[in-house]
Structure 1
Amino acid sequence: MKNHLSLLVLMLTAFLFSCNDDVTRKGDQLYNEGNYKEAVDSYSEYLKTNPKDIKSLYNRGRAFEEMEQVDKAKADFLTVLDIDGDNLSANLSMGKYWYNQKDFNKAIIFFDKVIELDGVRSDAYMLRGRSYHQKGEFDKAMENYNQSINFDKDNAEAFLYRGALKVALSQTKSACQDFTRSKALGSAEASEALAKHCR
């Protein structure tokens, strides 16, 4: 009898976990299809019984971002960081949040954390470069754009923004080379920059 009871408990637990997996997979599917509100509902349902599930919290935050509900997104990202302060994705998202709020000092703190945790993240260097660029700290911006490109030769945005910085520094020929490379990598903004600065 004891063995039957143990088996029943084990089966029930497995069933509940598989149901939870189905809910999170459904949320991911809805997110990938662009159904962000339904994705939020799916993640929220799962989080009722698993309030510290990092993946669901982060993905719900991303869905809120897509719906332009940035304060709710921020709350989810911060909850992730309360659980795991070293979460790369949440640190990167918080850096982007503060960048968009034009608080470049706070943005840099989060990009610093990402780079501390993973020193070869091209996107983190590029975003930190943009933050320094906005602050007018051009040497630091250039250093970060260069690092970004060193780690990913196909980072169109890094070439684009390094080109923009070179325009500000009157390095037009080199800027046009960066814009050309960015355009070749698929950046529409680079085409505009070439038309404006490289005739």
Structure 2
Amino acid sequence: MKKLIGLIWVLMMVVFSACNSDVTREADVLFKDGKYNEAIESYTEYLSTKPKDIKSLYNRGRAYEEVGQLEEAREDFEAVLAIDETNVNANLSMGKYWYNSKDFTKAIYYFDKVIQVDGRVSTAYLLKGRSHHQLGDFDEAKANYDQAINFDNENAEAFLYRGALKVALNQSKGACNDLNRARALGSEEAKDAIARYCK
């Protein structure tokens, strides 16, 4: 009898686990299809039984971002970091949250955490550079734009913002070189800047 109860328990756990897996897969598909509100509901259902699932917490946070519920997104990213403080995606998202909130010092803190974990993330250097740029720390901004380009020489935004920084520093030749590279990489903003500064 004990063996039978044990077997039933194991089968129930397998079925329950398979159902949970289906829920999170469904949520991922909804997210990919841009059905963010439905994805949020599906991730929430999954998290009700697995509240510390990092992937689902992070993806629900991203879905909240997409629908403009930024505080809920921040709470999910913070929940991820409470479980794994070195999570690159959550740190990057927290940096973006503080950047968009115009708290550039806090943003830099999170971008630095990304760089400490994986020093090759071009986006972290780009956004750290933009944060320093906003704070008027032009040398730091340029150094970070340089690093963003060093790790991804097709990072159009890094060329664009480094070009904008060079415009501010009256380095017109270097500025136009960067802006033209950004334009070649598909930046529409660079097109306007070239028309204005690169006669």
TM-score range, shorter chain: over 0.9
Query: Equivalents in 1 of 2:8, 2:153: separation in Å?
Result: 55
Q: What RMSD, in angstroms, separates the aligned Cα atoms of the two structures?
A: 1.0
* One-letter amino acid matched to 2:162: R
* One-letter amino acid matched to 2:51: P
Give, in angstroms, the shift of residue 5 of structure 1.
3.4
* Residues 77-132 of structure 1: CA deviation (Å, up to 9, x unaligned): 11111111111100000000000000000000000000000011111001100000
Give 3-state SS (helix, strand or coil) of 1:30's partner: helix
Query: Equivalents in 2 of 1:163, 1:7: separation in Å?
Result: 66
User: 66-75 or 13-22, which moves further after superposition?
Assistant: 13-22
Give 3-state SS (helix, strand or coil) of 2:48's partner: helix
List gaps (5 residues or longer) in structure 1.
none
Give 3-state SS (helix, strand or coil) of 1:41's partner: helix
Query: Equivalents in 2 of 1:156, 1:170: separation in Å?
Result: 21
Q: After the TM superposition, which segments of 4 or more aligned residues of structure 1 sit over 6 Å from their partners?
A: none
Trace 1:35-54 onto structure 2 (pairs within 5 A).
35-54=35-54
TM-score, structure 2 as length reference: 0.97
* Residues 139-182 of structure 1: CA deviation (Å, up to 9, x unaligned): 00000000110011111111111001000010111111111111
Give, in angstroms, the shift of residue 189 of structure 1.
1.1
User: Could you say which residue in structure 2 is the equivalent of 1:19?
Assistant: 19
TM-score, structure 1 as length reference: 0.97
User: Could you say which residue in structure 2 is the equivalent of 1:120?
Assistant: 120
Give 3-state SS (helix, strand or coil) of 1:49's partner: coil
Query: Equivalents in 2 of 1:19, 1:179: separation in Å?
Result: 51
Query: Equivalents in 2 of 1:32, 1:139: separation in Å?
Result: 39
* Residues 37-56 of structure 1: CA deviation (Å, up to 9, x unaligned): 10100001111111111111
